[in-house]
């Protein structure tokens, strides 16, 4: 089941002393990310020293009680501790507690001495008064009892202020209204975010997760490079007790409900397709199996500990791939695929002494997908027996996230007051894509039913209808980190720095078959019509088909190249205990980043981005039962490496239009008459781009300001409740624009000779602000003109995105056998930009931070409104009930209002001669006309909402007393089989014509499924 090579690699790396010194490893973003703290207050003269002993490893630390009776110990490994208060050599009191990553836990000693224990199977009813951070932390015990999928995204969706990312993106979630690429992911502090796209991250065996912290706001200056949220996973370690376990689960296809078919919407315009079947899904099958195992324990008691976990997930799917009217169903109408994801995790913890510790972690996330395509007949439901084509992928389009990483972390408690943490590391992901049955010289064919001339063949012979990535493209990350913490009086001072370097070699993709024949039809053959990059003249008189409005374009596209990036940061922070009940935290973070083209030449460089942050916590009653907290801060965001592929390198993206008289056996046009030259909306003809001209000078970074204010109350031992308000506003963003007319006007105003000017491609800039550019009007690549363009010259409104939310929660701490929590969020996310991503398009645009949003000013008219990640109402509830020591019930529920709907079509006001070639058709906020010229305004988010998202997951677990360590479980996901619409087509036009797919469903939530699990755990 698990590959021998994976097992050998994990064991060798985790338990080899030689590997520990030989491996290079990856960075942590803060010394507190993978550790926690213990704090407390005692009466004057009660004690002078607090001793903290890790119950798993016996590592012991001491910290002094200050003159005010307060104490605090930081950088503690997560786990359970025995905390002892001493006066001299006498024990005053003892308590037991659990340390959570990135959080503080209060040690409270019995008033009359003795021992106070805490149940670590649930939550204490006291509140963390050491932090104003917003979010949630989940322990392995809680995750084990909840009915959730065994992946990080399922944990994220339990947290308030989060929504699912656009379903057409490969990964990612929205935190607080942010784009799916605007989050940061860490494992043991190591950044595992995808460096190419920033969509999603590497993962590890689910059973290796000790704690998962989801931060949705208010986090300190140790965290950066995120304006969305942070996911901080801390892993399990070995202890002085040997333990081992294994898990087997299956989600059988026989217990899975049928998927909903997808239909064409009723547009009233296309009788051939309106209301008819578009994609048959009821015959699709999906089955998943998972196997995992772990072992951990002391290699040298009290000193050296090891832990290894392995996991293999096999997902098999069989189903219809092509739509009913697809032209390639005879080749690839049916798809069978099998994804095998093997993950390994190994960790060594070396307690050199009570004050010095080294941790080594190795992680592998190795997805592999094998796909086969066969024919499918919609009329008979017959599936072909012959495999016509296939692909083998590793970190391919199916699963672009993953890789291998190593982490080395040193924590030194130099004194009671000084702690040092240092890290260094690397990670690597090599993307494999190997198609078979693929003819790289056979162009693709695409023709909607309404665009097909009667009696002609439009069935293409190219079985691959997606862009093809380069086999062997590789992402690498190299990082360094140093953090210091020093306590002096009532102040805890923290400072740190880091440096990251990233590369993506042979990234990008190109059209399968090298080209695409894209057929179309204009509603009036007597009139010219605009297309990206130019205009097609009237078709009348160009041939019998052209006179009826039929035409074809030859599309070429390739973004294959290299990209590089670098990041650095420094921070300083002061945690000031103003009084025994008031904590004030103030810090400043400075960040810088650069992006470089295929030659390693920097074309974007931000050297000084300052992000001040301040937070306050008031322990109202002085007993950690009621806190009022607030924060204000600035958060900045870097650019992914993917922007270089089209923004700075020699990308190709062209169209050439023809009239035609027939088609051949492969659906390619015959009898061609050229209608246009080769056109490119963004001047992407494959030529090398000058790095000095592809980005504005002295840009501001993408940054966001945030305010939070809230309270939490431990009302009684059985009830905690609280409320919080959050306000976020995007102050600046970076995207690209592509309108060369502004430079032509500048040259004309200033009498500049443009006879040798090569034209404008696109350039990154700050939308809605004045920008300066270097322009090579002379065509010498040495004699540049600095062009200053005002906000009015560029024609854009200020970039806007605001998120306002009210969160209310009630929590029943684990007591009387059950735990439960319910969150309600009332929120609004609105503005004229989603951020780095663009979900409005039929498939979420993969050009992160270089979307079409700001390419032309006309595209942004009426773009201000409710954004795709807006969910006005959200209720999230989860919990579990230990009915008996043997039986446990768990539940998780979601009730959320639907995504706002928009309509984008052809702008009737961009049809003048000056507009030809400078605007995209079918991408403006104008719709509802019989033709594009008759469209009217349709502001963003005003077409209503998708249906409410309703979901209930349940589970039941049985742990028989007569077989200690055994557990069997049944999970039921989407109990009521509410397959909710997640996304529809919002495109209204194809140039001047209506679009047959408008309002057709693109994605539903998954149907009801069941999972059976057997697990055995044993401590020795």
Chain segment 788-825, per-residue pLDDT in tens: 999 999 999 999 999 999 999 999 999 999 999 999 99
Residue 89 CA to its chain's centroid (Å): 52
* Nearest-angstrom CA–CA distance, 863 and 860: 5
* Token couple for 941: 């988010």
| DSSP state string for 449-513 | GGGPPTT-----S----SEEEPTTEEEEEEEEEEEEEEEETTEEEEEEEEEEEEEEEEE-EEEGG
* Token couple for 348: 């060594």
SS3 content of the chain, % helix, strand, coil (to 5): 5, 50, 45
Phi, psi of 375 (to 5 degrees): -75, 160
**Pairing assessment for the beta strands 516-521 and 473-488 based on DSSP bridges:** unpaired
**pLDDT band for position 6 (50/70/90)?**
very low
* Nearest-angstrom CA–CA distance, 792 and 473: 42
* Model confidence at 8: pLDDT above 80: no
Mean pLDDT in residue range 352-378: 96
| Global confidence as pTM | 0.89
CA distances from 564 to 227, 426, 561, 732 (A): 22, 15, 11, 23
Residue 142: its H or E element: helix 140-145
More confident residue, 570 or 115: 570
- pLDDT for 563 equals 95
* Nearest-angstrom CA–CA distance, 925 and 335: 36
* Nearest-angstrom CA–CA distance, 723 and 306: 42
Cβ burial of 22 (10 Å; 0-12, 13-18, 19+) is exposed
- pLDDT for 886 equals 97
* Nearest-angstrom CA–CA distance, 159 and 163: 9
| DSSP state string for 399-439 | ----EEEEEEEEEEE-SSSEEEEEEEEEEEEEEEEEEES--
- pLDDT for 122 equals 38
Angle at 314 between CA 310 and CA 319, to 5 degrees: 165
* Token couple for 807: 């969160």
**Pairing assessment for the beta strands 104-106 and 35-41 based on DSSP bridges:** parallel
* Model confidence at 30: pLDDT above 90: no
Strand partners, 345: 309, 363
Query: For residue 161, which of 826, 926, 966 has the smallest C-alpha distance?
Result: 826
DSSP structure class, residue 207: G
Phi, psi of 1005 (to 5 degrees): -70, 160
| pLDDT tens digits, 73-129 | 888 888 899 999 999 888 988 999 988 887 888 888 875 444 444 333 334 456 888
Radius of gyration of the chain from its Cα atoms, rounded to whole angstroms: 30
- pLDDT for 397 equals 85
**Pairing assessment for the beta strands 79-87 and 49-54 based on DSSP bridges:** antiparallel
CB 597 within 8 A of CB 603: yes
Mean pLDDT in residue range 955-975: 97
* Model confidence at 319: pLDDT above 90: yes
* Model confidence at 23: pLDDT above 60: no
**pLDDT band for position 69 (50/70/90)?**
confident
CB 9 within 8 A of CB 344: yes
* Model confidence at 371: pLDDT above 90: yes
* Token couple for 669: 């046009």
- pLDDT for 700 equals 94
* Model confidence at 146: pLDDT above 50: yes
Mean pLDDT in residue range 24-28: 29
Residue 212: its H or E element: strand 209-217
- pLDDT for 33 equals 64
**pLDDT band for position 41 (50/70/90)?**
confident
**pLDDT band for position 131 (50/70/90)?**
confident
Is residue 157 classed as helix, strand or coil in its secondary structure? coil
* Model confidence at 249: pLDDT above 60: yes
| pLDDT tens digits, 413-453 | 999 899 999 998 899 999 999 998 888 889 999 999 899 99
- pLDDT for 129 equals 86
| pLDDT tens digits, 915-953 | 887 888 889 999 999 999 999 999 999 999 999 999 999
CB 451 within 8 A of CB 445: no
CB 941 within 8 A of CB 901: yes
Is residue 835 classed as helix, strand or coil in its secondary structure? coil
* Token couple for 530: 């605009």
Mean pLDDT in residue range 153-180: 96
What is the CB neighbour count within 10 angstroms for residue 252? 15
CB 921 within 8 A of CB 933: no
Mean pLDDT in residue range 758-781: 95
Q: Which residues of 68-106 are buried (b: 16+ CB within 10 A; e: fewer)?
A: eeebbbbbbbbbebbbbbbeeeeebbbbbbbbbbbbbbb
* Nearest-angstrom CA–CA distance, 903 and 784: 41
* Model confidence at 47: pLDDT above 50: yes
In this structure, of 107-111, 471-475, 665-669, the range with the lowest mean pLDDT score is 107-111
* Model confidence at 755: pLDDT above 80: yes
- pLDDT for 111 equals 58
Is residue 1001 classed as helix, strand or coil in its secondary structure? strand
What is the chain's mean pLDDT, rounded?
A: 92
Residue 778: its H or E element: none
- pLDDT for 911 equals 74
**What's the length of the chain?**
1020
What is the CB neighbour count within 10 angstroms for residue 596? 22
* Model confidence at 768: pLDDT above 70: yes
More confident residue, 7 or 1005: 1005
* Nearest-angstrom CA–CA distance, 698 and 604: 9
* Nearest-angstrom CA–CA distance, 681 and 919: 8
* Model confidence at 591: pLDDT above 70: yes
- pLDDT for 11 equals 38
Query: For residue 701, which of 592, 589, 824, 546 has the smallest C-alpha distance?
Result: 592
Percent above pLDDT 90 for the chain: 80
* Model confidence at 840: pLDDT above 80: yes
* Nearest-angstrom CA–CA distance, 472 and 466: 18
Strand partners, 342: 312, 366
| DSSP state string for 276-317 | SEEE--TT-EEEEEEEEEEEEEEEETTTEEEEEEEEEEEEEE
* Nearest-angstrom CA–CA distance, 539 and 529: 10
């Amino acid at each position: 089941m698990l590959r021998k090579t994976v097992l050998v690699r994990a064991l060798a790396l985790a338990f080899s002393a030689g590997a520990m010194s030989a491996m290079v490893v990856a960075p942590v973003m803060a010394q507190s990310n993978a550790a926690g703290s213990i704090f407390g207050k005692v009466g004057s003269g009660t004690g002078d020293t607090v001793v903290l002993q890790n119950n798993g490893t016996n590592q012991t630390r001491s910290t002094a009680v200050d003159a005010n009776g307060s104490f605090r110990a930081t950088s503690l490994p997560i786990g359970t501790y025995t905390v002892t208060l001493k006066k001299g050599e006498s024990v005053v009191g003892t308590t037991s507690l659990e340390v959570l990553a990135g959080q503080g836990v209060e040690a409270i000693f019995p008033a009359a001495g003795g021992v106070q224990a805490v149940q670590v199977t649930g939550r204490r009813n006291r509140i963390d008064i050491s932090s104003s951070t917003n979010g949630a932390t989940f322990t392995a015990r809680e995750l084990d009892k909840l009915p959730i999928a065994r992946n990080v995204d399922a944990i994220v969706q339990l947290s308030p202020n989060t929504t699912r990312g656009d379903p057409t993106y490969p990964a990612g979630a929205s935190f607080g209204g942010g784009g799916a690429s605007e989050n940061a992911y860490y494992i043991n502090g190591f950044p595992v975010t995808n460096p190419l796209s920033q969509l999603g991250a590497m993962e590890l065996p689910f059973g290796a997760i000790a704690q998962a912290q989801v931060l949705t706001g208010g986090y300190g200056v140790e965290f950066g490079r995120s304006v969305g949220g942070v996911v901080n996973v801390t892993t399990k370690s070995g202890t002085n007790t040997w333990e081992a376990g294994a898990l087997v689960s299956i989600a059988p296809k026989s217990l899975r409900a049928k998927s909903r078919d997808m239909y064409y919407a009723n547009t009233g315009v296309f009788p051939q397709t309106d209301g008819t079947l578009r994609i048959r899904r009821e015959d699709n099958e999906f089955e998943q199996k998972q196997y995992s195992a772990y072992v951990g324990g002391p290699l040298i008691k009290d000193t050296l500990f090891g832990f290894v976990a392995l996991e293999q997930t096999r997902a098999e799917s069989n189903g219809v791939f092509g739509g009913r009217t697809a032209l390639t169903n005879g080749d690839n109408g049916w798809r069978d695929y099998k994804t095998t994801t093997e993950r390994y995790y190994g960790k060594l913890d070396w307690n050199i002494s009570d004050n010095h510790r080294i941790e080594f972690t190795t992680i592998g996330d190795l997805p592999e997908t094998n796909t086969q395509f066969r024919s499918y007949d919609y009329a008979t439901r017959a599936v072909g027996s012959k495999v016509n084509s296939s692909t083998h992928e590793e970190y391919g389009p199916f699963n672009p996230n993953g890789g291998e990483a190593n982490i080395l972390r040193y924590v030194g408690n130099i004194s009671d007051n000084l702690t040092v943490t240092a890290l260094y590391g690397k990670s690597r992901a090599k993307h494999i894509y190997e198609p078979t049955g693929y003819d790289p010289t056979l162009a693709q064919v695409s023709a909607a039913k309404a665009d097909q001339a009667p009696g002609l063949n439009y069935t293409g012979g190219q079985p691959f209808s997606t862009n093809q990535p380069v086999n062997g493209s590789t992402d690498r990350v190299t990082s360094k980190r140093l953090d210091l913490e020093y306590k002096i009086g009532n102040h805890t001072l923290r400072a740190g720095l880091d440096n990251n370097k990233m590369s993506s070699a042979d990234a990008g993709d190109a059209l399968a078959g090298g080209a695409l024949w894209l057929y179309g039809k204009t509603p009036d053959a007597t009139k010219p019509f605009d297309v990206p990059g130019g205009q097609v003249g009237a078709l009348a008189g160009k041939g019998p088909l052209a006179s009826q409005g039929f035409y074809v374009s030859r599309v070429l596209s390739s973004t294959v190249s290299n990209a590089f990036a670098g990041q650095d940061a420094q921070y300083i922070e002061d945690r000031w205990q103003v009084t025994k009940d008031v904590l004030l935290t103030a810090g400043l973070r400075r960040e810088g980043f650069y992006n470089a083209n295929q030659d390693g030449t920097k074309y974007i460089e931000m050297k000084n981005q300052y992000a001040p942050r301040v937070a306050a916590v008031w322990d109202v009653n002085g007993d950690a039962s009621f806190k009022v907290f607030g924060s204000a801060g600035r958060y900045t965001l870097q650019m992914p490496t993917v922007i270089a592929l089209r923004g700075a390198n020699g990308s190709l993206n062209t169209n050439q239009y023809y009239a035609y008289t027939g088609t051949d056996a492969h659906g390619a046009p015959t009898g061609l008459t050229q209608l246009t030259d080769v056109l490119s909306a963004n001047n992407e003809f494959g030529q090398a781009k000058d790095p000095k001209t592809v980005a504005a000078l002295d840009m501001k970074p993408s940054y966001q300001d945030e305010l939070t204010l809230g309270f939490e109350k431990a009302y009684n031992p059985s009830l905690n409740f609280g409320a919080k308000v959050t306000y976020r506003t995007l102050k600046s963003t970076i995207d690209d624009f592509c309108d060369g007319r502004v430079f032509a006007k500048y040259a004309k105003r200033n009498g500049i000779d443009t006879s040798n000017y090569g034209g404008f491609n696109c350039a990154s800039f700050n939308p809605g602000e004045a920008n300066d550019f270097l322009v090579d009007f002379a065509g010498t690549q040495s004699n540049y003109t600095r062009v200053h363009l005002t906000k009015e010259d560029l024609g854009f409104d200020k970039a806007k995105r605001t998120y306002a939310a009210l969160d209310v929660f009630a929590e029943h701490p684990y007591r009387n056998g059950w735990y439960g929590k319910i969150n309600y969020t009332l929120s609004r996310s609105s503005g004229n930009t989603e951020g780095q991503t663009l979900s409005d398009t039929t498939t979420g645009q993969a050009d992160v931070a270089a979307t079409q949003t700001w390419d032309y000013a006309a595209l942004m008219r009426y773009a201000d409104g409710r954004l795709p990640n807006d969910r006005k109402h959200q209720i999230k509830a989860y919990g579990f009930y230990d009915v008996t020591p043997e039986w446990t019930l768990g539940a998780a529920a979601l009730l959320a209002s639907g995504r706002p709907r928009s309509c984008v079509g052809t702008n009737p006001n961009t049809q003048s001669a000056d507009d030809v070639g400078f605007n995209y058709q079918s991408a403006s906020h104008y719709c509802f006309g019989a033709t594009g010229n008759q469209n009217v305004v349709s502001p963003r988010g005003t077409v209503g909402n998708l249906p409410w998202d309703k979901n209930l997951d349940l589970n039941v677990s049985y742990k028989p007393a007569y077989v200690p360590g055994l557990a069997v479980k049944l999970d039921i996901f989407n109990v009521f089989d509410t397959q909710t619409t997640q996304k529809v087509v919002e495109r209204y036009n194809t140039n001047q014509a209506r679009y047959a797919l408008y309002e057709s469903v693109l994605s539903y939530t998954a149907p009801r499924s069941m999972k059976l699990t057997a697990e055995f755990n044993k401590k020795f």
